[in-house]
Structure 1
Amino acid sequence: MGVTPPPGSQPLDLPYEEITAPEYAALAAALFTLEEGGPDVTVLRGSCPRCGAVLEVPVAAQVFRRLRLIPFQDVVRRLRAAPRAGDRVEPMLCTCEDTHPGRPEGRAGCGAYWTLLLTEEPG
């Protein structure tokens, strides 16, 4: 597993590796914010939990009023119990343009991926 940089630090020059870890989802849930990006679009904005690069990921949001990020381990627990209307699992991956040695041609990012749960919060 790669070294996770502290929030707000410079991106790390890690080699490309397709990898995930439970900590990635937990860090992303803590570091990412949800912002309106225009009509029917929300932007997930935060740092990659592996390399630290700042990412902006647009997601369609026409059915959401407010959103909350939930780490992957809580996603699994919640979906096993009783999924709520409005819950949406969002797979994410690093899409940075920073240098990562060994990255295959035509790909972006450091190779890290994780999953978050976007859920509608009562207004």
Structure 2
Amino acid sequence: MDSSDTPSPIAEPLPYAEVTDPTYAEVAAQNFTVEEVAPDTHVLRGTCPRCNAVLEVPLVGNVFHGMRSIRDVLRKRHTKPSAGDRVEPVICTCEDAHPNRPEGRSGCGAYWTLLLTTEAK
């Protein structure tokens, strides 16, 4: 049996930890998209910057008319929000196994904020 026949090791699940990091918002800005699913209802979709689980985060409210892609929107994240912008807290809500996760909780414990802006109509 040569090395190509050796099974690759299975990574241990990432333990639950309530943490944030400045890079989480940057990573989310690069991979999250926003989709309108109903009038005044949108869904952020992307992968958790900590555990890489696929997330869907519902957003409800009329502030999102004309929303651009999250990548374009968050290029200004170092600026203060303008009128009509929204700072949205996001937490990982995956159902993947994460050791030490408290009973009744979901996710890996990661959290971050996204600055969501709107385009003029």
Q: TM-score, normalised by structure 2?
A: 0.80
Mapped pair 1:37 → 2:40? no
**Partners of 1:37 and 1:58 within 8 A in 2:** no
Post-superposition Cα deviations, 1:43-72, rounded to whole Å, max 9, x if no partner, equal: 00000000010000010131322224316x
Superposed structure 1 runs of 4+ greater than 4 Å apart: none
Q: How far 1:109 sits from its partner (Å)?
A: 0.1
Q: TM-score, normalised by structure 1?
A: 0.79
| Structure-2 separation of matches of 1:63 and 1:92 | 17
Provide the alpha-carbon RMSD of the alignment: 1.9
Map 1:1-123 onto structure 2 (within 5 A).
Answer: 13-68=13-68, 69=70, 70=74, 74-75=76-77, 77-79=78-80, 83-123=81-121
Q: How far 1:13 sits from its partner (Å)?
A: 1.8
What percentage of aligned pairs have identical amino acids?
Answer: 61
Structure 2 residue runs of 5 or longer lacking an equivalent are 1-11
Amino acid at match of 1:23: T
Amino acid at match of 1:41: T
**Partners of 2:91 and 2:107 within 8 A in 1:** yes
Structure whose residues are more often strand by fraction = 1
Q: Matched residue pairs, number?
A: 107
